[in-house]
Chains A and B, each alone.
Chain A
Amino acid sequence: MLADAEIFELTARVIAGNLQAFGPIVLEYQKPIRAYLAVRMNDQNDAEDLAQEVFIIAHRKLASYDPTRPFGSWLRGIAFNLLRNYLRRRREFARGSASELEELMEHHVEDMDQEGGFDRVAQALDACVAKLAPHLRELLEKRHVEGLSIAELCEVKKCGHSAMTMTFHRMRRTLRECVEKNIAEMESVSA
């Protein structure tokens, strides 16, 4: 983890025109920023683009950064503003109950973020996904990387629809329990 003094020095070098010095900053802070946006946005490609946008704006405004404040908080402030603008633009298209549900969820998501931040959840999730059985990891990849629907997965795997939805339901529950357990362990170690 970058120390305050390192951030201070890196930001100074970036402001002085050394773009490469921005690399370690992006590497350090990208995970929490990407997680922050990913959990609030439906479209993961948009979330990734917006995360990059956060760093591009941060680069442009680096001279206005107050080094006495945590750098991560400053970046999150930029992410928050970008997300707000993004959602405002999207609201024109996203009408109906799905967007209502997402707005409702957003309050709880915000609370969870205040409690610990999503980078910790993401970190815990990494370990939990690694523990999954290979056939479950394959299902996740087909669902999220290849973008197959439940019905398409049923066709590929030659199984019933309810069996597939039940598999995903159980997998989510397992992952959730595993994540909560890992976070509790992290907290006990840090305490």
Chain B
Amino acid sequence: MKPEEIEQLTARYLDGELDEDGIAVLVKEFTANSDLGRDAARLFVIERLLQMKMTGSESHEFTAETIERLKSARTDVTFTAGVIGRIRDTAETAPSSWPFRALIALAAGIVLVLGAWFILPHKGRHGGASPADAVALVATTPGNTVLRRNTSIPATGNMTFTDGDVLCVPQGGKAVLAFRNESTTIDVASESNIRLKFENGSKSIHLEKGALTCDVAKHAPGKPAIFLTEQARVEVLGTRFALSSDAAWTKLDMSEGTARMTSLTNDMTADVPSPKRGVVLQAMPGERPAEGPFVGEAITAPPDTDRYRAIVQWSDDWAGITKINGVSVKDPEQDIRITGLQGSMLDVVIKDIRTGMNVSTATCVPRNTIHAPTTNDSILVMHSTYLGKMKWQGQPAVVMVDFDSNVLSLKSDHRAVRRNILVGVSVRTSDGQDLRIQKGGPAQIKSNETRGGK
């Protein structure tokens, strides 16, 4: 048969007008010549897609209809679960009309319970009923592990957690945890470890290192979800936030709602609302504990981050107790290392490295501290004690400020430091000499010339 004739038969088939004999001819021809069959298949595909396009619903309609069907499918599941639950309840509570049978059942029950008490490791010996079953690993990448009773096991999808389990997500990995009885989800980032604790019917998530993002379902007042790091405790009742931590600090970035952040070092507490950031700092050896949590504006890196340079500094860096990080980074937030002590205002500045212009700034302010901004010609005054090492004009120096008693001590090889003071303070030099500095007036602070030997 000629190709044109086959083409005509194919067209008649697609028109719905080819009889059985004609179809049989096509079958025979397409079987004998697969090129013809392949050619016709293209027309078949276009015809069917044309039908779909003309008759099918639009994408959004299809999606909405599917979601509606899913809702009813869920209802079916709920209904079935409800029926099974009722059957179970009925079986457990069914009254017996035969007292003797009830007695036997009771006796058998006692024997079973006692047997179980002695034979099985019962809950009472292990700290009470655990709601651990309520937490499951719902998504995991290969390489994630769970440390369970000192044994590392591969993390698998839909895995259920038990008390004390540590989920370890290596570099490049990620995982999502969900609570079965509530809509809380926790996204665990790469290079993070989290430990799950279940005590007295409540749960806590300990972020041992790394970062997580959490969407916490509404909790009843007085029964918050608790997140712990080395430095801080975060209590939430229904929020969205990101929490990250390393050996020196904990950062909490709120995107919805409010969380209560407490420093584990000094029990100071701050309510951190969205879109603020809370920071708790770990005191370094020899340093006083930070007064935090510091609460400030949360900032995000501009999308074109290669162009920017993140600069983190304490605004009273004239006292020199904090470091200035001027680091070129992909994500400025990841490279912030805060080593300052209490009582400082933390400025985070992102600069466009080409123009030198500031494109974003944020300030973290210590709570319960009265402060004034500092400039080159003024100093910050706070109600706190302040101790640290500094470099002043390139030379080592030690400074101590007790703002409660308006005393500042400076121990330096430099002979003089000149400042205009916004608020009056007293200054004690390293040799014990007190100087009174008046508000608004220029002052000269002299170190002990004999000690410096210069």
Is the A/B pair a real complex?
yes
Binding site for B on A (CB under 8 A): 5, 8-9, 11-13, 15-20, 22-23, 26-27, 30-31, 34-35, 38-41, 44-45, 47-48, 51-52, 55-56, 59-60, 63-68, 96-98, 100-101, 104-105, 107-109, 111-112, 118, 121-122, 125-126, 129, 140-141, 143-145, 149-150, 165, 168-169, 172, 175-176, 179
Q: A105-B44, A168-B11 are in contact. Are A16 and B37 (CB under 8 A)?
A: no
Across-interface contacts of A176 in B (CB, < 8 A): 42-43, 46
Nearest CB of chain B from residue A107's CB, rounded to whole Å: 8
Nearest CB of chain B from residue A99's CB, rounded to whole Å: 10
Across-interface contacts of A30 in B (CB, < 8 A): 59, 62-63, 66
A165 touches B41 (CB 8 A): no
Q: Is B396 close to A, CB under 8 A? A: no
Across-interface contacts of A172 in B (CB, < 8 A): 11, 14, 43, 46-47
Residues 155-187 of B contacting A (Cβ, < 8 Å): 157-158, 174, 176, 178-179, 183-185, 187
Across-interface contacts of B157 in A (CB, < 8 A): 63-66
Q: Is B403 close to A, CB under 8 A? A: no
Contact of B30 (CB < 8 Å), options: A12, A104, A109: A104
Q: A26-B62, A179-B46 are in contact. List 18 more A-B contacts (CB 8 A).
A: A5-B174, A8-B174, A16-B184, A39-B45, A48-B62, A52-B65, A60-B73, A66-B157, A67-B139, A68-B142, A96-B23, A101-B30, A105-B44, A112-B45, A121-B45, A141-B54, A172-B11, A175-B50
Contact of A122 (CB < 8 Å), options: B42, B49, B142: B49
B27 touches A97 (CB 8 A): yes
Contact of A55 (CB < 8 Å), options: B16, B34, B43, B70: B70
The answer for the CA separation of A66 and B12 in the assembled complex, in Å, is 46
Q: A9-B176, A16-B184, A22-B70 are in contact. Are A97 and B51 (CB under 8 A)?
A: no
Nearest CB of chain B from residue A39's CB, rounded to whole Å: 4
Q: A15-B138, A55-B70 are in contact. Are A97 and B23 (CB under 8 A)?
A: yes
Q: A109-B44, A169-B11 are in contact. Are A44 and B52 (CB under 8 A)?
A: yes
Question: In the complex, which of the residues B16, B66, B157, B187 has the most CB atoms of chain A within 10 Å of its own CB atom?
Answer: B66
A16 touches B185 (CB 8 A): yes
Q: How large is the interface on B (under 10, 10 to 19, 20 to 34, 35 or more residues)?
A: 35 or more
Contact of A105 (CB < 8 Å), options: B40, B46, B66, B67: B40
B73 touches A56 (CB 8 A): yes
B45 touches A12 (CB 8 A): no
Q: A97-B24, A101-B13 are in contact. Are A35 and B63 (CB under 8 A)?
A: no
Across-interface contacts of B71 in A (CB, < 8 A): 19
Q: A144-B50, A172-B11 are in contact. Are A51 and B62 (CB under 8 A)?
A: yes
Q: Mark B369-396, 1 if CB is under 8 A from A, else 0.
A: 0000000000000000000000000000
Residue of A nearest to B157 (CB): A63
